[in-house]
Chain A
Amino acid sequence: DQQVKQNSPSLSVQEGRISILNCDYTNSMFDYFLWYKKYPAEGPTFLISISSIKDKNEDGRFTVFLNKSAKHLSLHIVPSQPGDSAVYFCAASGEGSSGDKLTFGTGTRLAVRP
């Protein structure tokens, strides 16, 4: 049962334009959401997070939006740069007594074209 879903396995965007990566979740116990960026043969790198009490969090070119009623979050990257090309994972925590563990989506591969 996939509790965190990233339905787009890949996304291609022109340099300078906006990249929007989407993530859906099913478990209403989740209260903290994170985005990670991953290059091949490296560990995930933390990008940005959002608590369930907020609907938006911004950090430089990265903004995360949370729609709790729809159980949906998105990551916006503006403007997109070629160095942003990587696999992006959304993750969630707060589930029950093992609230710390992260449940990951399957990832979206972003390609930013020069």
Chain B
Amino acid sequence: DSGVTQTPKHLITATGQRVTLRCSPRSGDLSVYWYQQSLDQGLQFLIQYYNGEERAKGNILERFSAQQFPDLHSELNLSSLELGDSALYFCASSVEAGSGYEQYFGPGTRLTVT
């Protein structure tokens, strides 16, 4: 158990809908990352928050957004869902920002868009 929690574990929804994925980092970790794992793309970085502020963006679609709240939990919002958005979404956390800190991953949310 990494100490990172994600809900829900599974999500099935239809095209065009909007969903919210939730992540609670390890106790004391200030930095939260979101990654997407799809069959053909491997694990891809989406976005990072540090202590409530956006710190870095990867290949995140404009239909996707995220935020980190004062209690440091984070939410990833996916809207106007398409079939290609079906993937595993992982949240990770690290104690600080910057290279050189291990990232600990949650169990993931499996999103299926039908």
A: which residues have CB within 8 A of B? 31-32, 34, 36, 41-46, 49, 51, 89, 91, 93-94, 97-107
Contacts and interface: CB of A to CB of B under 8 A. Distances in A.
Given A32-B99, A43-B2, A98-B58, A104 B106 contact: no
Interface of B: 2, 4, 6, 31, 33, 35, 42-45, 48, 55-58, 90, 92, 94, 97-108, 110
A98 B4 CA distance: 22
Contact of A46 (B43, B98, B102): B102
Closest 4 CB pairs of A and B: A43-B105, A94-B99, A98-B56, A104-B43
A42 B110 CA distance: 10
A43 B92 CA distance: 9
Given A31-B99, A43-B106, A102-B103, 19 more contacts: A32-B100, A42-B107, A43-B2, A43-B4, A43-B108, A44-B90, A45-B105, A46-B105, A51-B100, A89-B43, A91-B43, A98-B57, A100-B33, A101-B33, A101-B48, A102-B45, A103-B45, A104-B44, A107-B42
B89 to A, nearest CB: 10
A14 B55 CA distance: 44
25 contacts: A32-B99, A32-B100, A34-B102, A34-B103, A42-B108, A43-B107, A44-B90, A44-B105, A45-B105, A51-B100, A93-B99, A93-B100, A94-B99, A98-B48, A98-B56, A98-B57, A100-B48, A100-B55, A100-B97, A100-B101, A101-B48, A101-B58, A102-B43, A102-B92, A104-B43
Contacts of B92: 43, 102
Contacts of B2: 43, 45-46
B99 A99 contact: yes
A32 B99 CA distance: 7
Contacts of B56: 97-98, 100-101
